Structure 1
């Protein structure tokens, strides 16, 4: 009689119907109550739990109601056939009736809890996936903004300078066009590298990667040169004992400097700015100051300051940006360095002030 249970996992409803029918027929044939058919009662309760756990909520309720109805009708009919209402209403048999109902209810509750737990875990997984996608989109947006904004700013300034002196100073025009070409090629190369990293979602360890590491503080020499081409002298000072930085911190520090200098080039209108890189015990201090009109670099529309705040916040650091009391604007980022930092991304290099 219990052989249909073998198909319970794939066809729980037909198996439950067969077991309930067997239960009814056996009770009528044996002319006794369900106490002799307790294995079928147990299996029926397990099927109720299975349906409640793997099917829709309505299916679980229907399975519990059907099982309880068939069991109660069979049980009460068997008692009534023996001694009438006197046996049906006996305290002991009333207790068994309640116990029978509670067993089905417990099976339904257990299956419902299992289904709800599974749905909750799926919802958590979906939420985590959505957060990961959102974080990745923000990271890509920050990198594209920091990389392209600086390059386009340099190109726009060089193009404007070249157009003004094209008739009177051909040599300066040639230099401006050369700077535009160099900046454009470098930006195109960085875009290709970034697209290569994005396409390589799951890199194969056995396949060597042809993408270069993300830019870090070692690329400040190049930033100094491009900023000078845009007409702003960028003075870089290093303090403390240089030490290898984790790639994420190294890249974030460079992007903060790049975005701050880009704001100086595009909005401030001052011929110079100062960049300080200070290695402290357990943290890295990055500070960018200028002598232009206070607040000018922050009031322009865009996402530069918010992007820098996001970068520093992701590294558990702190960033301040605002006008200086004695004029100008200052950006200061304090980034903690983990005690067990990963390997270096770039070896530190000395930077000549320009």
Structure 2
């Protein structure tokens, strides 16, 4: 093991170093081959050949670990240069070993450490070498000594500092990008949970309201009009099965990965008519206006917006059934230039189930907020209740 290797191991605490990078191997080998080997071959160095070889290797071999241990490498290279200058050994063709080893070590420190820390470490190391060189000029008056290392180290630090600043900026940008991706993923998951909870609420609330109404009808006409009672019970069975199918589809969408989940038919604007027809069959007076089932391509609405519009109508009509009864109700679904507007307006009723929990309207607002839409809901001045929702739709989507 060479003295340089022992010194490096002692400074870094004998920790295991990673495999050197090819560039580091090229720098270390090139520094020795281009600057020390010619001196040994031609015999133009100053000092014993063995000392030239050992000190030349000791100044370049540590460069293999410059990325893993930049500060220890700079310390070792500086100490080798100090030893060489006081021993009056020149292992490069130039005055006082003016090779690239110290410049590379300083550049690496400036690249890897924060600017203030790298400046302190580099200044201390280069200052030590410079003081040693100035002292050696007085000690060895006949030798070719100079302070050229200082001139090499300053631009090396500036270049390394610029590289380090750029690398740290790129690292911060990557971290910010990853953070935004994590936040986007959390938002998507939160929106998905919100969508699922809203779907479950709408499906269960609407179906149970319909079951309550139709079971009441069946109870009242069971003895006098059994055929009508059987029809009501059949409607209850159909509504229950449909609700179960919808719930299975919603729950399956969160249990199975999207790339493996089977295609599930989601409600759309075309299903609003069947929703209203089912209530009309139970005696509810509802006037419906919806866009043509096949809209022009430039007026098409994204599927998620169509599904949300359907759920808004479903929730609003469920509230009519629960809190107003069989009162005249108007449902308008209008495709406008800037989006889709849904309104459900009912007159005042004398029957119902009180004020309700408010969860339905809260869920509606949350659902519409996912599309950056707006919700206006509240009692009408002349009695009754009105819900108006607007979904913005980009015409270029």
Aligned mate of 1:45, from 99, 102, 107:
107
Q: Structure 1 residues 47, 156: CA separation in 2 closer, same or farther (over 3 Å shift)? A: farther
Shift of 1:191: 2.0
Does the 8 Å contact 1:316/1:336 carry over to 2?
Answer: yes
> Where in structure 2 are the equivalents of 1:176-215 lying within 5 Å?
176-199=232-255, 201-203=257-259, 210-215=262-267
Shift of 1:327: 1.3
Aligned mate of 1:255, from 303, 306, 311:
311
2:188 maps to 1:136: no
Structure 1 stretches of 5 or more lacking a match? 85-91, 342-354
Q: Structure 1 residues 133, 34: CA separation in 2 closer, same or farther (over 3 Å shift)? A: farther
Q: Structure 1 residues 282, 131: CA separation in 2 closer, same or farther (over 3 Å shift)? A: closer
Query: Secondary structure at the residue paired with 1:321?
Result: strand
Task: Work out the CA distance in 2 between the residues paired with 1:314 and 1:287.
Answer: 18
Q: Structure 1 residues 240, 22: CA separation in 2 closer, same or farther (over 3 Å shift)? A: closer
2:84 maps to 1:29: yes
Alignment partner, residue 235 of structure 1: 287
Larger C-alpha radius of gyration, 1 or 2?
A: 2
> Where in structure 2 are the equivalents of 1:75-94 lying within 5 Å?
75-83=130-138
Does the 8 Å contact 1:239/1:276 carry over to 2?
Answer: no
Aligned mate of 2:364, from 301, 308, 312:
308
Query: Secondary structure at the residue paired with 1:214?
Result: coil
2:72 maps to 1:17: yes
Shift of 1:243: 2.0
Alignment partner, residue 273 of structure 2: 221
Task: Work out the CA distance in 1 between the residues paired with 2:133 and 2:240.
Answer: 91
Shift of 1:67: 4.9
Task: Work out the CA distance in 1 between the residues paired with 2:155 and 2:224.
Answer: 103
Q: Structure 1 residues 214, 69: CA separation in 2 closer, same or farther (over 3 Å shift)? A: same
Deviations 1:297-350 (A, max 9, x none): 995223322333344444454332121222111112233443345xxxxxxxxx
Query: Secondary structure at the residue paired with 1:285?
Result: strand
Q: Structure 1 residues 110, 221: CA separation in 2 closer, same or farther (over 3 Å shift)? A: closer
Q: Structure 1 residues 73, 23: CA separation in 2 closer, same or farther (over 3 Å shift)? A: closer
> Where in structure 2 are the equivalents of 1:149-168 lying within 5 Å?
149-162=205-218
TM-score by length of 1: 0.71
Aligned mate of 1:2, from 17, 25, 28:
28
Structure 2 stretches of 5 or more lacking a match? 1-26, 30-60, 140-147
Task: Work out the CA distance in 2 between the residues paired with 1:160 and 1:35.
Answer: 103
Q: Structure 1 residues 35, 104: CA separation in 2 closer, same or farther (over 3 Å shift)? A: farther
Aligned mate of 1:145, from 179, 201, 209:
201
Does the 8 Å contact 2:286/2:330 carry over to 1?
Answer: yes
Q: Structure 1 residues 285, 120: CA separation in 2 closer, same or farther (over 3 Å shift)? A: closer
2:349 maps to 1:323: no
Task: Work out the CA distance in 1 between the residues paired with 2:354 and 2:389.
Answer: 15
Does the 8 Å contact 1:264/1:297 carry over to 2?
Answer: no
- Which deviates more from structure 2 when the two are superposed, residues 126-135 or residues 158-167? 158-167
Shift of 1:218: 1.1
> Where in structure 2 are the equivalents of 1:94-133 lying within 5 Å?
112-133=168-189
Does the 8 Å contact 1:252/1:311 carry over to 2?
Answer: yes
Task: Work out the CA distance in 1 between the residues paired with 2:366 and 2:96.
Answer: 67
> Where in structure 2 are the equivalents of 1:64-75 lying within 5 Å?
66-75=121-130
Shift of 1:235: 2.7
Q: Structure 1 residues 98, 243: CA separation in 2 closer, same or farther (over 3 Å shift)? A: closer
Q: Structure 1 residues 240, 115: CA separation in 2 closer, same or farther (over 3 Å shift)? A: closer
Does the 8 Å contact 1:277/1:285 carry over to 2?
Answer: yes
TM-score by length of 2: 0.64
Aligned mate of 2:346, from 290, 300, 316:
290
Does the 8 Å contact 2:191/2:370 carry over to 1?
Answer: no
Aligned length: 322
Query: Secondary structure at the residue paired with 2:68?
Result: helix
